[in-house]
Structure 1
Amino acid sequence: MEQVGQRKIDGLWLMVVGIAVLFFLILPTLIVIPMSFSGASFLEFPPTSFSFRWYETYFTSPEWMSATKTSLIAAVLTTAIATPLGSLCAYGLHCSTPRIRSTAQILVIMPIVVPVILIAVGVFSLYAKLGLNYTLTGIVIAHTALALPFVIVTVMSGLQNYDFDQELAARSLGASRAYALWTVTVPQVKFSIQTGAFLAFITSLDEVVISMLVSGGENATITRRMFNSLRDQLDPTIAAISTCLIVVSVGMLIGVQLIGRSKNADK
């Protein structure tokens, strides 16, 4: 009985700590969203009046809409490139020898470990020679490099629970490796691939450090314009844009989770 009681107490403490950590993480969001509906001409919390004027400012501004369009196009292209490349890389690493896999994994996670500012400086210097600064192509290439590790790690995690005997059985019956991969393996790890695609999209959409150096002019991203706006003039439009980004991110996350649940239910 004492052990059962101690376990309940330990579980209660863990729950309290977990709730406290979650609250700490979402607290900025809980502050930003009400601020976006403020009727004042400056950021205030709690807002003394409510208005949609800052959302109207955002959606009617050609500059903000141009930056949003650039960011969305870059995020979609980054996802379209990083997802298949990262998935194939994860598949190749999973099929390789343990020694090669462990070495390659270190190289794969380097873009995550290395400070982004160092990558940004290197990318900016390289792009200056190639003429890719302030171009959509340059933004997509840089964002893809940052998104690939998330796709690779996510898909490799899914492959850990996959029984490769299914693919081998298909190949033994005459299917080519590519056809067996597409028709047998990919459906089994589809949720991991979808999660990797989600992470790639969010990585590109939220990236700011590299975008500050390699984007600009007509190809300025939304995060770059937000940073410049914070530097030049602080108004609740930034809160309205942040709320929109939060809604997009949370909506996509919920969508991925619903897809995962429906897959588990089908099993």
Structure 2
Amino acid sequence: MLKTHPVTRTVLWVVAALVSIWLVAPSLIVIPLSFTDKASLVFPPTGWSLRWYESFLTNPQWTAALGNSLLIAVLVAALATVLGLLAALGLRQMANKKVIAGLTFGLLAPMVVPGIVVAIGLYAVFLTLGLVGTLLGFVLAHTVLALPFTVVAITAGFAGFDARLELAAMSLGASRVTTFLRVTLPNIVPGMVSGALFAFVTSFDEVMLSLFIKSPYLNTLPVMMYSSVTRDTDPTLAAAATVILLITTVLVIAGLSLTGRKKRVTRAN
């Protein structure tokens, strides 16, 4: 391990802290804004009130959008994790590096292609198939964006897995299915959990694609927030943003805790 001079180490820590504050500060500003007693987004707040949370929780449009976002994100996380696992297994079984590279590029393309391009393409296809404004359409569209994250996370899980454990299990008489369920799967659960969390957050925060496929009968919270910005800027918007921040933070912390606990159990065994 490369040792650094104490002064250099201190400077690096300070730079890292400043960069972290710079990245996190814009997100944290919405929290005090959501408690303001004013009817506009003014920072810093001159008074405090819970009226905007009351406005958010008692407005059927906001609560329905929140429920839709949660439902879609859960379904996307489940579907993207299953598809990501199958894709990672397929890549793992291949020997041709050029084919692997080509397929990996295809699987990760939604991370590289501009979101507006993906949105236009999916909108044209979904319009033909009658999926615009439907729950299935939202789930399939968001899965396209979330799948690369699950593939990367699960592939990383396989990279840290000792394949000799599978050979040992099969040499003792276990079938391929039993070996996968009792040996392989438990060891890649941390990667699957990480992928599912990324998929959930990707879907829960998605705006661009949702704007194209939304309908008056099915809306998501980020789209409602975007529409609110175009109409007015009352602090209900900040309350909604704080709710999103709270949900994603709790989920990520819970997921990291479960993943860390699983890794410790696996090492202990």
Shorter-chain TM-score: which interval? Answer: over 0.9
Say whether 1:244 aligns with 2:264.
Answer: no
TM superposition outliers: structure 1 runs of 4+ over 3 Å: none
**In 1, distance between residues paired with 2:176 and 2:129?**
37
CA distance in 1, matches of 2:94, 2:178: 19
User: What amino acid does structure 2 have at the position aligned with 1:91?
Assistant: L
Q: Deviations over 1:197-254 (max 9, x none)?
A: 0001001000000000001212111111111110001110010011111111111111
The answer to whether the 8 Å contact 2:69/2:204 transfers is yes
Aligned to 1:95: 93
**Secondary structure at the counterpart of residue 50 of structure 1:** coil
TM-score (norm 2): 0.94
CA apart distance, 1:160: 0.7
**CA–CA distance in 1 between the matches of 2:172 and 2:117?**
50
Matched with 2:197 is 198
Q: Are the equivalent residues in 1 in contact too, given 2:190–2:263 (CA < 8 A)?
A: no
Residues 117-155 of structure 1, C-alpha deviations (whole Å, 9 max, x = no match): 000000111111111111111000000111110000011
Q: Is the 8 A contact 1:33 1:243 kept in 2?
A: yes
Indicate if the aligned counterparts of 1:33 and 1:240 stay in contact, CA closer than 8 A: yes
Distance 1:88 1:14 in 2: 41
Which secondary structure state, in structure 1, belongs to the residue aligned with residue 160 of structure 2?
Answer: coil
Structure 1: how far apart are the matches of 2:264 and 2:190?
Answer: 13
Distance change in 2, residues 1:102/1:171 (3 Å): same
What SS class does the counterpart of residue 36 from structure 2 fall into? coil
Q: Matched residue of 2:5: which SS?
A: helix
For 2:228 and 2:93, the matched residues in 1 are separated by: 48
Q: 1:75 aligns with which of 66, 73, 76?
A: 73
Q: Is the 8 A contact 1:34 1:47 kept in 2?
A: yes
What runs of 5+ residues in structure 1 fail to find an aligned partner? none
TM-score, reference length from structure 1: 0.95
Instruction: Give percent identity, aligned residues only.
Output: 38
1:207-226 residue pairs with structure 2 within 5 A?
A: 207-226=206-225
Tell whether the 8 Å contact from 2:193 to 2:259 is kept in structure 1 after alignment: no
> Which one of 6, 12, 22 corresponds to residue 24 of structure 1?
22
| Residue of structure 1 aligned with 2:49, choices 43, 48, 51 | 51
Q: Number of aligned pairs? A: 264
Q: Give the alignment of 1:43-192 within 5 angstroms.
A: 43-97=41-95, 98-192=97-191
**CA–CA distance in structure 2, aligned partners of residues 157 and 106 of structure 1:** 16
Q: Is the 8 A contact 2:88 2:155 kept in 1?
A: yes
**Please, what is the CA RMSD of the aligned residues?**
1.4
Q: Which runs of 5+ in 2 are unaligned?
A: none
Distance 1:102 1:40 in 2: 55
Contact 1:64 1:225 in 2 (8 A): yes
Mapped contact 1:78–1:140 kept (Cα < 8 A): yes
